[in-house]
Amino acid sequence: MKKKNILLRICALIVIIGYFSGLFATSKAYAKEDILTITQNAGYQTNELYKPRSSIVIEAQTGQVLWEDNPDLKWNPASIAKLMSAYLVFDAIKQDKITLNTLVKATDSDQAISQIYELSNNNIVSGVEYPIKDLLYATLVQSSNVATVMLGNAVTAHDEAKFVHMMNDKAKELGMTNSTFYNASGAETGSFNGYYKPEGINQSADNISTARDLAILAYHLLKDYPDTVTYTSPTQITIMENTPYAEVLENHNYSLPGLAYGYEGADGLKTGSSPTGGFNYAATANRGNTRLIEIILGVGDWEDQEGELQRHAFGNAIFDYSFASYEYKKVLSKGDNTVNEEKITLDQDFYDVVQKNLEPTFALSADKLTVDNGLPQVSSTIAAPSVNFKYAKKLKALQQSALLKTGKKKNKLSTFFVNGLIIIFGLLFIALSKLLKKAPSKKIRLFFTLGTVLTLVGIGLSIYTIIVGPWI
Tally of CB atoms within 10 A around 27: 9
In 3D space, the residue among 194, 197, 179 whose CA is nearest the CA of residue 84 turns out to be 179
Q: Are residues 277 and 212 in the same domain?
A: yes
* Boundary of a domain, candidates 297, 326, 355: 326
Q: Are residues 169 and 130 in the same domain?
A: yes
Is the confidence at residue 7, as pLDDT, over 70? no
* Boundary of a domain, candidates 392, 424, 446: 392
51: in domain? yes
- Mean pLDDT across 46-69: 97
259: in domain? yes
Look up the CATH number of the domain holding residue 213.
3.40.710.10
The predicted structure's pLDDT at residue 457: 83
Is the confidence at residue 409, as pLDDT, over 80? no
Give residue-wise pLDDT tens across range 309-357. 999 999 999 999 999 999 999 999 999 999 888 899 988 999 999 999 8
Please confirm whether the linkage preceding 375 is cis (ω < 30° from 0).
Answer: no
Is the confidence at residue 164, as pLDDT, over 50? yes
Number of structural domains (the chain) is 3
Q: What is the DSSP letter of 81?
A: G
Q: Are residues 442 and 386 in the same domain?
A: no
Task: Return the active site residues.
Answer: 79, 82, 143
**Is residue 410 annotated as involved in ligand binding?**
no
280: in domain? yes
26: in domain? no
Domain that holds residue 69: 37-326
Q: How confident is the model at residue 413 (pLDDT cuts 50, 70, 90)?
A: low
Is the confidence at residue 1, as pLDDT, over 80? no
Q: Tell me the C-alpha distance between 122 and 113, whole Å.
A: 10
Q: Are residues 367 and 353 in the same domain?
A: yes
Q: Are residues 155 and 272 in the same domain?
A: yes
Q: Tell me the C-alpha distance between 102 and 99, whole Å.
A: 5
The predicted structure's pLDDT at residue 400: 44
Q: Are residues 380 and 409 in the same domain?
A: no
Q: Is 336 exposed, middle or buried (0-12, 13-18, 19+ CB in 10 A)?
A: exposed
Q: Are residues 312 and 420 in the same domain?
A: no
Give residue-wise pLDDT tens across range 295-306. 999 999 989 999
Q: What is the pTM of this model?
A: 0.78
Q: Are residues 382 and 442 in the same domain?
A: no
309 to each of 237, 275, 279, how far by Cα in Å?
21, 16, 9
What sign for the dihedral angle of Cα 445, 446, 447, 448?
A: positive
Q: Are residues 156 and 75 in the same domain?
A: yes
